[in-house]
Each structure stands twice: as C-alpha cells, then as structure tokens.
Amino acid sequence: MNKLIHIKGDLIKLAQQGEFDVIVQGCNCFNTMGSGLAKQIKAEIPEAYQVDQETEAGDVNKLGNYTIADIQVGASGFTVVNAYTQYDFNKTGETVDHFEYSSFEVILRKLEIRAGSCRFGFPLIGMGLAGGDKVRIMTLLEAFAVRVNAQGGSVTLVEFA
C-alpha cells in the first residue's frame, strides 16, 4: 500500500504553518542554492543556506550526507534538511542525470533512523536540475514513506503550485 501523500502547494509556507516537522531539499555539492526551491530556501530561510555554506564547496564526500537547520516559527518550528543528493547539476541545455540514487537512499535511511516518527515534506526532489529519473526517485520515496508510516510519521510530496 502506498503511504506517500501527494499534494500541491508551497513546501516552505506549509512548513511555516506547522504542517511538517522536517522538510528535505536536494542539494548539489557546490554550495550554490541558486535556482528552484533551493533559491527560495536561501531567500526565505537563510539559516539553511548558512549551514550549507559551512561545508566545503565541491567536496564529493558530502554525497549521502546532509546538513540541518532548525527553524523557529512562533512557539513551534521545523527542520530543514539540505540533502546532498547530487554532485553537480544541469547547466543550460544539458539533460544529464546527476542524481545520486544510492546517496539519496542512504540519506533516507539516516532520516528514518533519526526522525522516523516525524511529518516529512519533500519537493519533487531530484526531478528538476538534477535530471533524475522520476520513477526511480518515486520508488525510493514510496518505500521511505511506508517505513516512516510504520513508526507513526508521514511523508508528503509537495508539488509547487
């Protein structure tokens, strides 16, 4: 049974409204956050950008790891996970798959162990500038959602609207 919830909306706004305990964004290893959701996070949640800046730009060893920023919103808050899911990204005109599926799977396992009972929010992670295969990524997210649901948590895929 598929436990992955799929909605349309603004991942950041939903987190700020208390819908998620953890939001996860895919990052490359070059500390840029220059487009897409990363650019929005950089502008609206500078703490997440700052923890990314504290890592070494271009370090391939970041793959399969993540940085976190705990964000307070009123009396509650949420955590932003900068998941290093790709080394590089597509430049204008390129259509290369840069998404590191094994790195993403390791990150999901770590998050499951660390925070399996949380409410997770994901964007269409890896399916934009990373050039990732939607079917492969969705399969990993669906398996993660089943495991998290078994621990009392939830996983929601938020398609920007």
Q: Which domains does the chain have, with CATH numbers?
A: 4-160 (3.40.220.10)
Structure tokens at 101: 């599926």
Quote the Cα angle for 74-155-99, to 5°.
110
In the chain, beta strands by DSSP E: 4-9, 22-27, 66-73, 76-84, 119-122, 154-160
Q: Which residues contact 108 (CB under 8 A, 6 or more apart)?
A: 140, 141, 143, 144
Residue range 103-154, pLDDT digits in tens: 999 999 999 999 999 999 999 999 887 889 999 999 999 999 999 999 999 9
Residue range 65-96, pLDDT digits in tens: 999 999 998 878 999 999 999 998 777 777 88
Beta partners for 8? 159
Contact criterion met (CB below 8 Å) for 13 and 37: no
Beta partners for 25? 82
pTM: 0.94
Residue type, 121: G
CA 148, CA 142: separation in Å to the nearest integer? 10
